[in-house]
Amino acid sequence: MTTLTVVQKGGVVAIAADSLSTQGSWKRPVGFTRRASKILSVNGSYIASAGWAAHMAVSQSLVRSRPEEFDLSSVDSIFETFRNLHKTLVDDY
C-alpha cells in the first residue's frame, strides 16, 4: 500500500509519500532501494507513482526519456498526456 498526501496551507503546498517498496510479501528496506522516492518532478510539476516497483521504474524512464510529452497544466491535459503515453507503454514496456 502506498501513502501519498498533498496539503496546501497559507499559499504553500507540500507533497509527501512513504518510501516502502514491496515485491509480493517481501518488504524492501529503504536502504536497499536505489530511488526510494515515489515522487517525480517533470516540467515544473510533480507526479507520484503507486503500485509495483516496476511501475516506478517505468515512470522514471518515461519522465527521463520523454519529458516533452508531459503536459500537466490542467485536468484535460493530464488525461491527454497519459492517454497519449498509453501506446508507448504498450509498445515499449
pTM: 0.69
Digit-by-digit pLDDT tens for the chain (93 residues) are 778 888 999 999 998 887 777 666 766 666 655 666 788 899 988 888 877 777 888 888 999 999 999 999 999 999 999 999 998 999 988
Q: What is the DSSP string of 41-87?
A: EETTEEEE--SSHHHHHHHHHHHHH-GGG---SSHHHHHHHHHHHHH
The structural domains of the chain, with segments of one domain joined by +, span 4-92
The whole-angstrom separation of Cα 25 and Cα 88 is 30
Task: Please calculate the CA angle 65-46-58 and round it to the nearest 5 degrees.
Answer: 40
Helix (H) or strand (E) holding 5: strand 4-9
The whole-angstrom separation of Cα 79 and Cα 71 is 9
